[in-house]
A and B are shown apart, each in its own frame.
Chain A
């Protein structure tokens, strides 16, 4: 119970910072909504931890709910890194296009 309260306090702190950043115009709408949904889902997961434990057990996983959430988190991180890698690759190609354009138009 105490751990859940601490986690919720941390999320509340991060959300407050996020709202502040939005107010100052430091983050875009898209980014704001993405992180808002992310932290709200995290809040829901913390509040409904017992229910998630049951759901996970009924799906046949041997770990607890929090463990399965952790594994899912790792999968999502891998996916995000992969997406980032693709984006970087595209930026690299765009840089090449610009460099070539400058070279050929000199």
Chain B
């Protein structure tokens, strides 16, 4: 299990400021790093192409969930056995990648979510931590049957089997809830590990939360 083919997927939209630093920080942990440039209007694509990695390019912006699924499909087609989703904005710490991958490598879990609410401390804004996240947790629990400490974690690891089963259908930010919901639905072995998130800005806002709900609702109706 130790020699799993590990892929890292980084969806990127206008992340020229941080993309190179993020790529270089994650590279030592993986066999392949895939950046999915989601039609950025800045230098993200050009900068990523200069690094020795795989760069996929969406010709139209399709949002984060869509970019992750494109990365997943590419990785699976090329034999990935372990996939890690990592943000391009530099909020996650590369040194925690091993912690997120460990339960899959040891065969203990099929999918691992990094949680900002376990032991480690993230400098999350108070309103977000105590109001928005609490609400999101409640909604996940009531409507999606998901009982995890971090309702919107973007730092996760999936085994090949989990990535094959979970096809991300929500193009926007609702993919976080969707992945958790499908992990529960397909009876995957789920584990949460503590991670640190560095907040440079507020990130997902309350209005963003409403958009996520709308997206989940509509996707239920058309699927």
Contact = CB atoms under 8 A, between A and B. Distances in A.
A92 B214 CA distance: 14
B221 A103 contact: no
Interface in A46-99: 85-86, 89-90, 92-93, 95-96, 99
A26 interface: no
Interface residues on B, range: 10 to 19
A96 B66 contact: yes
Given A93-B171, A96-B66, A103 B219 contact: no
A64 B57 CA distance: 59
A100 interface: yes
How would you classify the secondary structure of chain A's contact residues: helix, strand, loop or mixed? helix
A85 B218 contact: yes
Contacts of A103: 36, 56-59, 70
A6 interface: no
Interface residues of A, number: 14
B222 interface: yes
Interface of B: 36, 56-60, 62, 66, 69-70, 73-74, 77, 169, 171, 218-219, 221-222
Contacts of B169: 93
A100 B69 contact: yes
A89 B218 contact: yes
A95 B222 contact: no
B218 A86 contact: yes
Q: Which 7 A-B pairs have the closest CB atoms?
A: A96-B66, A96-B62, A89-B218, A100-B70, A103-B56, A99-B58, A96-B171
